[in-house]
Amino acid sequence: MELEAAQAFAMAIKFIGAGLMLGLGAVGAGVGIGVLGGRFLEGAARQPELIPMLRTQFFIVMGLVDALPVIAIAMGLYLMFAA
């Protein structure tokens, strides 16, 4: 009975950890890409002729911002379903 309770507790801790990884990653990426997209729109509204150049830069920086949360998501999903 002791052992079962301990196992259930370890299970719960694991899922909380995975949930934190997924959630905090999403918060960070949401704020980052939100700011980035807002500035992109501002710039595009101010100087529409720069849109192609801005779009390229936007996607590059989005890929950079996106990387860490996505890694966290991969690790979180691994923890939740496979580990």
User: Of 33, 66, 73, 79, which is the active-site residue?
Assistant: 66
Which among 11-19, 35-43, 44-52, 71-79 is the span making contact with another protein, rule CB under 8 A?
A: 71-79
Decide whether 45 or 83 has the Cβ nearer to another protein. Answer: 83
DSSP 47: -
Report the C-alpha gap between 30 and 27 in whole angstroms. 5
Least Cα distance to 70 among 18, 29, 14 occurs for 29
66 labelled catalytic:
yes
Q: Does 71 bind another protein (CB under 8 A)?
A: yes
For the chain, the C-alpha Rg in angstroms (whole number) is: 19
Q: Which residues bind another protein (CB under 8 A)?
A: 59-60, 62-64, 66-68, 70-71, 73-74, 77-78, 81-82
